[in-house]
A and B are shown apart, each in its own frame.
Chain A
């Protein structure tokens, strides 16, 4: 993939056009889409832009025959639940594909179960199988810290890690590995696997969303499903977000998506209750303040779908 596509080496005096190269890669389109569809996440976007710039400059350098070796692009995404780690990983596959760093641009998303076997000699072929499937694309390992279980010395997770390391080093041209998990658990994971930490060049920390960002996310989610908020409902949603953030088990965008799903339920129920009336298109797509206010977060300061004394996460 990174072999020289253009075998003609340019003379030292010749000029190359970074702008033309940038436009040819269509990368601005991807980055623009990223800016539009992903709210917030400043540090992540900056890093993606930096990586894109590096790969573009590398491509120009190769035109002059300056080699600098394949850059390592293995990444580690840390952050609280619902901060968009998986979404960004998907985008990353597309971006790296556009930049010609990976050949196919597909994402293989796996967890511990897909890598670690159940008996001796089962792990290595299983891990290799997954790696082979991911070649030419991105291997995304969610909750990667589960791979290492120090409390069980016979755990086969260590074997999977070693095989992964070997391929991360030797097949850098074929494979980009992205690990993801919660910050503190991933830190512990890297402390016990220093080899892993040193082979990962990019450690990206996903910040929590602010209430305003969460509201924009909610609007995008609703627009995707062809719903919209009435003015009153928009104000209520803001109120809801502030209240919900204070409750336990808040998982950023995921909590918002769940809240919206329940608001849709209530909207349907409300329409059904008033079924004597004739409905317009606007009625069907509009979520009213009452649909959001129906949440128990408002009434009792308790999570929806939670028994009065329970502590289940939503």
Chain B
């Protein structure tokens, strides 16, 4: 991908920036907690942009006042899945929103091979395009 020389997946907030430090992550979580959003930690090994629902690491955390507890979960998730994508999401349950208000990646696999472009011949010489992450070439469970 010529437009993305580092070959880094860019999803959610801050993904064009260098990886956030723990202090920076804490500051972001602090903002979410200040707004009474439920923060949760999620992980996946499939970086496809349409892969919306990642696996949850533990329950979403309600009633927290301080980011230290969430950072603790982030770190234990990093320890369990060091070579997967891990993100922190903040869900706003206020009526009218009921949607994630924040989502950012806090851990990436050491190498991100990127995506394969698939071209599909369709009737009338038209072309369909799709992308497949190289990371999912092997069946689930044999990937690492």
Residues on A facing B (Cβ under 8 Å)? 103-104, 106, 125, 129, 131-133, 135-137, 171, 173-174
Contact = CB atoms under 8 A, between A and B. Distances in A.
B69 interface: yes
25 contacts: A103-B66, A103-B68, A104-B65, A106-B65, A125-B58, A129-B59, A131-B69, A132-B61, A132-B64, A132-B69, A132-B70, A133-B63, A133-B64, A133-B65, A135-B65, A135-B69, A135-B72, A136-B65, A136-B66, A136-B67, A136-B68, A171-B68, A171-B72, A174-B66, A174-B68
Contacts of B69: 131-133, 135, 174
A104 B64 CA distance: 11
- Interface size classification for chain B: 10 to 19
A73 to B, nearest CB: 16
A135 B61 CA distance: 13
Contacts of B66: 103-104, 135-137, 174
A33 B93 CA distance: 39
Contacts of B70: 132
The main secondary structure of chain A at its interface with chain B is: loop
Contacts of A106: 65
Contacts of A174: 66, 68-69
B116 to A, nearest CB: 40
Nearest to A102: B66
Given A135-B68, A137-B65, 15 more contacts: A103-B68, A106-B65, A132-B64, A132-B72, A133-B63, A133-B65, A135-B64, A135-B66, A135-B69, A136-B65, A136-B66, A136-B67, A136-B68, A171-B72, A174-B68
Contacts of A173: 68
A314 B43 CA distance: 54
Nearest to A174: B68
A206 B92 CA distance: 44
Nearest to B58: A125
A106 B64 CA distance: 10
Interface in B52-78: 58-59, 61, 63-70, 72-73
Nearest to A175: B68
Contacts of B64: 132-133, 135
A103 B29 CA distance: 14
A185 to B, nearest CB: 30
Contacts of A125: 58
A125 B72 CA distance: 13
A129 B124 CA distance: 59
A132 B61 CA distance: 9
Q: Lowest 10 A-B CB distances belong to which pairs? A: A136-B66, A132-B69, A174-B68, A135-B68, A135-B69, A104-B65, A135-B66, A106-B65, A104-B66, A133-B63
A157 B27 CA distance: 35
Contacts of A137: 65-66
B64 to A, nearest CB: 6
A135 to B, nearest CB: 4
Contacts of A133: 63-65, 69
Contacts of B65: 104, 106, 133, 135-137
A129 B70 CA distance: 10
B38 to A, nearest CB: 13
A80 B72 CA distance: 37
Most buried by B among A129, A132, A136, A173: A132
Contacts of A103: 66, 68
